């Protein structure tokens, strides 16, 4: 793939203006071969101030919030079509920046287009309510834009995370500042170019790459930012939650996970093994919803472990640009090394590495941030390796005896993001789905997503909901209005 055709100009997007940033220099490295493919000067806190001011002005001058829903929806439909038309370009750029396979980044680009399309359609179906009056007046509940909001996103699926925040924030009538991750800023900038070409009024969108502790923090603390929508790690989410509490500002947090995926003895084992391998090793495990704790009923434990190990060893590791690759590199060497350290610590603590547990030996993969699909046994659910998010291609496997034992173990986690259940018994599936602490449960499938279905995390996996028809509402204030119909004075005043 040639980088000449890809959009990697050293420019950030501040309040509708493309400009070279004067913040920290970001070196973008292709994790498949360690080559620096672009450099980018990031934003400063002054850029945050300028972007907020431009956002406020743009909302006012373009009349964005006051436009009728179908008028805003028309712009979002055009953005959706433009994303679709540029899907290959987006996919190539994201593969270069994150290492993900082209098949996955193309799917993420198409899902971003679908998010804009769905949000545009949903916007036209939104309704305010006439509420029941208790007197001679009209009472209603209406929704209004917040003003300027901040969207802070992680590196694992940048185009999809951006779309999930930018589409509803704009649909609701706001301006939005996006703070993309340092490890993957480029597709957010490309999205801004696409939005600009699709006719989004200038100033409504800013894209401000840079270190989270500087740029992200400044966005969250800015007095004119009325909401933060954050996707990322739980510790960062907690810090942002403190800022939101100080400002009394709404915040949506989509955070980490350590999701259980459960194989009952009666499951279709072909289906279960394929689903579990996909659930943990696709995206090289760099997925908030990765099914990273695999619980297997004891009577089928040995047979299933053997099949999982065989399946993991057969996965094809390679660069994301190779169409036969199933497991691409991790996003960066620093991250690969952090994953390797966690596995090594578990090994030293007595865990058994059943497969993987190292960088691949193949010569062609030596320069990249690759790590073998790894399965770890001989652990107990309370071990560090079973409790902490690894965010890499590493599964721990744990036996369970019966339903009660399973639920105890599955829920013994600070996280509550997702869960997979593999069984032929629909009553058992239903009971387990209801008993497990998770925002999303899949039965006999995994990692399937519909933009019309709400997404949220329980416990330390998050706060608030994204997606779904009501996703737009989370970027709005609710306002109640009473209008007198009697023409009479309130008797208390005495006239």
- Complex with ligand NAD: residue 156 or 423, whichever CB lies closer: 156
Strands 394-400 and 458-459: unpaired
> Does 45 help bind ligand NAD (rule: CB under 6 A)?
no
- Complex with ligand NAD: residue 257 or 319, whichever CB lies closer: 257
> Does 153 help bind ligand NAD (rule: CB under 6 A)?
yes
Positions 204 through 223 that interact with ligand NAD (CB under 6 A): 212-213, 216-217, 220
Three-class SS string for 19-34? ECCCCCEEEEEECCCC
- Do 52 and 18 contact (CB within 8 A), yes or no? no
Say how far apart CA 136 and CA 482 lie, in whole Å: 10
Give the nearest distance from C-beta 175 to ligand NAD in angstroms. Answer: 19
Stretch that binds ligand NAD, among 66-74, 254-262, 355-363, 406-414 (CB under 6 A): 254-262
- Complex with ligand NAD: residue 146 or 219, whichever CB lies closer: 219
Q: How far is CA 125 from CA 69, 73, 122, in A?
A: 9, 11, 5
DSSP string for residues in 59-102: HHHHTTTTS-HHHHHHHHHHHHHHHHHTHHHHHHHHHHHH---H
> Does 233 help bind ligand NAD (rule: CB under 6 A)?
yes
Stretch that binds ligand NAD, among 45-53, 77-85, 146-154, 469-477 (CB under 6 A): 146-154
Clarify whether 254 is annotated catalytic.
Answer: yes
Catalytically annotated residue among 92, 254, 389, 460: 254
Give the nearest distance from C-beta 493 to ligand NAD in angstroms. Answer: 51
> Does 69 help bind ligand NAD (rule: CB under 6 A)?
no
Matching residue, tokens 């005896």: 401
Backbone angles phi, psi at 114, to 5 degrees: -65, -35
> Does 186 help bind ligand NAD (rule: CB under 6 A)?
no
For residue 376, list its beta bridge partners: 353, 396
> Does 464 help bind ligand NAD (rule: CB under 6 A)?
no
What number of other Cβ atoms are within 10 A of residue 20's Cβ?
Answer: 10
Say how far apart CA 300 and CA 264 lie, in whole Å: 8
Q: How far is CA 492 from CA 139, 305, 460, in A?
A: 21, 77, 51
- Complex with ligand NAD: residue 206 or 297, whichever CB lies closer: 206
- Complex with ligand NAD: residue 196 or 217, whichever CB lies closer: 217
Please identify which residue in 15, 181, 260, 399 interacts with ligand NAD, judged by CB under 6 A.
181
Backbone angles phi, psi at 248, to 5 degrees: 50, 60
- Complex with ligand NAD: residue 119 or 423, whichever CB lies closer: 119
Residues lying near ligand NAD in the complex (CB under 6 A): 152-156, 179, 181-182, 212-213, 216-217, 220, 231-233, 236, 239-240, 254-257, 288, 389, 391, 417, 457, 462
Catalytic residue positions?
A: 254
């Amino acid at each position: 793939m040639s980088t000449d055709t890809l959009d990697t100009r050293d420019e950030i997007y501040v309040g509708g203006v493309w400009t070279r940033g004067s913040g920290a220099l970001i070196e973008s490295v292709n994790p498949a071969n360690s080559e620096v493919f672009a450099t980018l000067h990031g934003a400063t806190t002054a850029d945050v101030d300028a972007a907020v001011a431009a956002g406020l002005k743009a909302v006012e001058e373009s009349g964005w919030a006051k436009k009728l829903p179908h008028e805003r929806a028309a712009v979002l439909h055009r953005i959706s079509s433009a994303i679709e038309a540029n899907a290959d370009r987006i996919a190539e750029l994201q593969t270069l920046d994150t290492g993900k396979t082209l098949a996955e980044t193309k799917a993420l680009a198409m899902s971003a287009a679908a998010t804009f399309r769905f949000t545009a359609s949903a916007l036209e179906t939104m309704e305010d309510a006439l509420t029941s009056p208790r007197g001679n007046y009209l009472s209603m509940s209406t929704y209004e834009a917040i003003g300027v909001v901040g969207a802070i996103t992680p590196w694992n699926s940048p185009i999809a995370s951006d779309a999930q925040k930018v589409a509803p924030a704009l649909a609701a009538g706001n301006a939005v500042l996006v703070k993309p991750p340092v490890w993957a800023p480029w597709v957010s900038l490309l999205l801004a170019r696409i939005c600009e070409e699709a006719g989004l009024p200038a100033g409504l969108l800013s894209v401000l790459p840079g270190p989270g502790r500087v740029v992200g923090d400044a966005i969250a603390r800015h007095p004119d930012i009325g909401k933060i929508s954050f996707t990322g790690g739980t510790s960062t989410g907690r810090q942002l939650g403190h800022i939101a509490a100080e400002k009394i500002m709404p915040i949506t947090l989509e955070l980490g996970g350590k999701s259980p995926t459960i194989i009952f003895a009666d499951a279709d084992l072909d289906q279960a093994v394929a689903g579990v391998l996909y659930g943990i090793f696709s995206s090289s495990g760099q997925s908030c919803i990765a099914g990273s704790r695999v619980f297997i009923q004891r009577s089928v434990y040995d047979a299933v472990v053997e099949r999982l190990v065989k399946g993991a060893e057969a996965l094809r590791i390679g660069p994301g640009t190779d169409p036969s690759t199933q497991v691409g590199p991790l996003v960066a060497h620093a991250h690969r090394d952090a994953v390797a350290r966690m596995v090594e610590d578990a090994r030293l603590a007595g865990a058994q590495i059943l497969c993987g547990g190292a960088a691949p030996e193949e010569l062609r993969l030596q320069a990249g941030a690759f790590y073998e699909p790894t399965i770890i046994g001989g652990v107990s659910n309370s071990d560090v390796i079973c409790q902490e998010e690894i965010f890499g291609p590493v599964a721990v496997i744990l036996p369970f005896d019966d339903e009660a034992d399973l639920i105890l173990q599955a829920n013994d986690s600070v996280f509550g993001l997702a869960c997979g259940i593999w069984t032929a018994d629909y009553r058992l599936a239903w009971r387990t789905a209801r008993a497990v602490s998770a925002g999303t449960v899949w039965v006999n499938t995994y990692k399937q997503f519909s933009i019309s279905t709400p997404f949220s995390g329980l416990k330390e996996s998050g706060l608030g909901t994204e997606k779904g028809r009501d996703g737009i509402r989370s970027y709005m204030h609710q306002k109640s209005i009473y209008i007198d119909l009697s023409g009479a004075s309130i008797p208390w005043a005495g006239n």
